[in-house]
Structure 1
């Protein structure tokens, strides 16, 4: 199990809040993005952050633990920027807004680069990949499935398993856009994003429309 500052092992101190730790996090982020996981050393992070190696290792016992903490922090930030849909906005509009925020999370080039690093290291460090999936994509699916359950309770939708319905919705509204972004094959415009969302939303609602 990889220890993180968000979930420290017994006896491990929690990361302190404050300017020094913020500097460490920013330095680590930049180095991982610029050089990749393998080429980044803890010594380089300490030097870039202006802290001693002893201080860095006191809070992050390994490079994997440091990277795991960055994964948790980034996924929590993304979830914060992806608010739960509200039925009061209307079913279609609530799903539409959720889809927009969800897709825009793929467009940020920093996030794309971060996912590439995790994918590149997944063979050597599968726990990092699992941590990212559980903290990011799986958390998004859980939150959306809760909303879909609310919509079903209000007799606005019909479907089988809410988790599978959430996966299907996200697949429909994103289409191939994330793949194109990761491969650098497409510069997305708001118009293209909206077209993809509307097509996916229409197909999803048609399949889940309750019988009259």
Structure 2
């Protein structure tokens, strides 16, 4: 079992030990991205960080534990970048903004290379793959499902399960873009991102029977008869 809890030095932000841990994690991050997980040794990380092996192992008991801490930190950073959808912004606009940030965060950050590393090591270290899935994709789905459940409670959407609805929405708006990026088949433009989002959003809203007059704050409410 890989220990995934934070080391106590992380709680002392700005301390000498905390700064050393930051140096270590940055060095490890660069090496993992450049060489991959298997080809990166703790010796190389210690050397790149300018610390002794004893110091490195005092912070992280294994390479797997160090990589796990990077997974958690990266996924938390990604979640911090995602907007919290608000119905007050209008249903379609809130979903559109969430989808745009969701896609651009994945495409423009180093997440693509990070996902490749995790996929390559998932057979040997399934716990790392599970940690990434729970901290990243699953956390994103849970966040969106709360918003969708609120929209359903306000009779704007009609679906059976908010988590499944969130999965379907994310699948629709991302299309094949992440796969193409991971495979390195083509560069993705902002226009392509917007087109994929709009197509997915339109399909999702049609399937979940959103009330047209409530899709955007720019559209007026229907007058009561």
CA distance in 1, matches of 2:170, 2:109: 20
Contact persistence 2:82–2:98 (CA under 8 A) = yes
In the TM superposition, residue 110 of structure 1 has moved relative to its aligned partner by 1.5
1:178 lines up with 2:178 in the alignment: yes
In the TM superposition, residue 105 of structure 1 has moved relative to its aligned partner by 2.1
Q: Runs of 5+ in structure 1 lacking a partner? A: none
RMSD value, Cα: 1.5
Contact persistence 2:4–2:65 (CA under 8 A) = yes
1:46 paired residue number: 46
1:14–1:23 Cα change, 3 Å: closer
Structure 1 residues 74-83 or 202-211, which shifts more? Answer: 202-211
In the TM superposition, residue 52 of structure 1 has moved relative to its aligned partner by 1.0
TM-score (norm 1): 0.94
Contact persistence 2:83–2:97 (CA under 8 A) = no
1:211–1:187 Cα change, 3 Å: closer
CA distance in 2, matches of 1:85, 1:192: 23
CA distance in 2, matches of 1:205, 1:134: 27
1:103 lines up with 2:106 in the alignment: no
Structure 1 residues 46-55 or 125-134, which shifts more? Answer: 46-55
In the TM superposition, residue 5 of structure 1 has moved relative to its aligned partner by 4.2
1:146 lines up with 2:146 in the alignment: yes
Contact persistence 1:172–1:204 (CA under 8 A) = yes
1:62 paired residue number: 62
TM-score (norm 2): 0.88
How many pairs are equivalent?
Answer: 207
1:159 paired residue number: 159
In the TM superposition, residue 84 of structure 1 has moved relative to its aligned partner by 1.3
What SS does the aligned partner of 2:40 have?
A: coil
Structure 1 residues 15-24 or 66-75, which shifts more? Answer: 15-24
What SS does the aligned partner of 2:110 have?
A: helix
CA distance in 2, matches of 1:5, 1:133: 16
